[in-house]
Structure 1
């Protein structure tokens, strides 16, 4: 108990620079005499700690003191703080106190270098809350319940044990064990509605490779050759690998890419409107043509 208190006193002094014996005694619920004995113990252990009496006085560390600096290189200290800052941006519980303590120990500023927002541009607060619920369920291993809409618009009620939040193919997914299907499944977050986190917990772990295709997803892939107008340059370079892009003399682009062929692919191509043309394969070209013609008939 005393060792923990001694370490905490050092942390407090690194953070606040100066405190009084009365403040420390109140925080640790001990007498001021005990605090002064702790100060003597720290001093005997080689910690450069001293007290100033009188008005404005208190307990301090020497200004240049850094605890444990010799244990880690400067780069290692920065890397640790950067990693913790990344976790803090994800709102992982209890990271902020650790980040503050280590920043004080290393005598470095805890610079905020990253912010993470899982929701889409233009989405409302409910979508961000969905990610917060999923994050809490994953960290606490709580079972979740939700309505799920398939790519064909079919609604099913699911109870799942969420294991990981995954970003894949320009979309967010939850990977977990679905009790309805009695198997591991990948659920697209945008198709999850009426999400609720229960008090029930689970202990199941994911066997094997998360990135292998789950059984509820289409395995068939298609190699696309697309022609994009020059006005789509900002999307072409954002969304495709440089090795698959060929810029033509007129400023347009030929893009070669391989995707799993499903409804998402057709919708993705159509999102480019008249600025994209499917060159290959012929069957995808015909599907896009039919859907554009069907859309046009609605306006005729």
Structure 2
């Protein structure tokens, strides 16, 4: 552990130049006293690191000194696929591993390319979770990720959408991060299924299994997502939307509504209203989604949904006198 940290100190100084003890401590998540000891150990090992005293001081390497110890470990190489997702890497238990891998990559780059890479990191940032939502508690994500890496079976209890619980023996095939939520693709009872990680109980890792050679995680997720979407939105509502209503569709109905707008071949009428076929959920959820639009949406078909919306609007009007 200490050897890895000493290498991290060395690479930080090589990549960034002068750094204070406080900056090194914050970067490595250790105490300042530990940084002092690490600097002494590097000096004792012959690394030409020296200290500048004073407010603008800090530690730096003698000009021209570079280390060639930049080989990536297996874990670090794996973590690089999450280089743009630091939060996801941390949830998977790879936060410090990812940081070490990035340090080694930067150290291996020529100075010009290293500067450009730093500029990109300062100009673009990917924040996956959506607005106005809490972060799910995922105490078992790192263990599940380990089972995925090592192709080991999981015995656990799973809480279904109706809050009932069932025992499951899963062969984990891959993890997917979708809109801030983690999902596990796994083989169970001879079929491939998707499980929400936040509903998976404490996993007990078992023996290894033979991972199917032809399993394609990206292709599986695309197919599963399309199937899930069809099940989630089994009905079609024919509606009229105002200009403002059309602008609200992506916010209220997400990608499904936005796609319905793009695929619409009708033209707005002289008042700017457009006839659109929108996929909707069954029952009460559809009513709630459509009522969000207020006067910017009018339901035309089906007749029962139109009647439900009209009745709800009447009740709302009555409650305001």
The answer to whether the superposition gives a TM-score over 0.5 is: yes
Flag structure 1 segments of 5+ consecutive residues without an equivalent: 40-49, 69-81
User: Partners of 1:143 and 1:112 in 2: how far apart?
Assistant: 43
CA shift at 1:84, angstroms? 5.1
Flag structure 2 segments of 5+ consecutive residues without an equivalent: 20-36, 70-79, 148-153
Give the counterpart of 1:122 among 91, 114, 132.
Answer: 132
Tell me which residue corresponds to 1:75: none
CA shift at 1:231, angstroms? 2.8
Q: Deviations over 1:158-215 (max 9, x none)?
A: 3454633353xx8957343486x764334568xx66x533343575657463332488
Kept in 1, the 8 Å contact 2:237–2:280? The answer is: no
Kept in 2, the 8 Å contact 1:158–1:178? The answer is: no
Q: Larger % of strand: which?
A: 1
User: Partners of 1:111 and 1:177 in 2: how far apart?
Assistant: 37
CA shift at 1:96, angstroms? 1.9
Kept in 2, the 8 Å contact 1:159–1:178? The answer is: no
- Residue 207 of structure 2 corresponds to residue 196 of structure 1: no
Figure out how many residues of one structure are paired with residues of the other and give that number. Answer: 247
Kept in 2, the 8 Å contact 1:18–1:60? The answer is: no
Give the counterpart of 1:157 among 165, 172, 175.
Answer: 165
Q: Deviations over 1:239-260 (max 9, x none)?
A: 4136335544423333345x48
Tell me which residue corresponds to 2:99: 96
Kept in 2, the 8 Å contact 1:148–1:155? The answer is: yes
Give the counterpart of 1:184 among 160, 184, 192.
Answer: 192
Tell me which residue corresponds to 2:124: 113
Larger radius of gyration: 1
Matches within 5 A, 1:1-300: 11-15=11-15, 17=17, 23=38, 26=41, 32=44, 35-36=45-46, 59-62=61-64, 85-92=83-90, 93=94, 94-106=97-109, 107-108=114-115, 109=118, 110-111=121-122, 113-118=124-129, 120-124=130-134, 128-130=135-137, 132-133=138-139, 135-141=141-147, 145-149=157-161, 154-159=162-167, 161=170, 163-165=174-176, 167=178, 174-177=183-186, 183-187=191-195, 196-200=201-205, 205=211, 207=215, 209-213=220-224, 218=231, 224-236=237-249, 239=254, 240-241=258-259, 243-245=262-264, 246-256=267-277, 259=279, 262=282, 267-279=288-300, 282=301, 285-292=302-309, 295=312
Kept in 1, the 8 Å contact 2:299–2:306? The answer is: no
Q: Larger % of helix: which?
A: 2
Tell me which residue corresponds to 1:74: none
* TM-score normalised per structure 2: 0.53
User: Partners of 2:271 and 2:10 in 1: how far apart?
Assistant: 67
| Residues 203 and 272 of structure 1, relative CA distance in 2, 3 Å threshold | farther
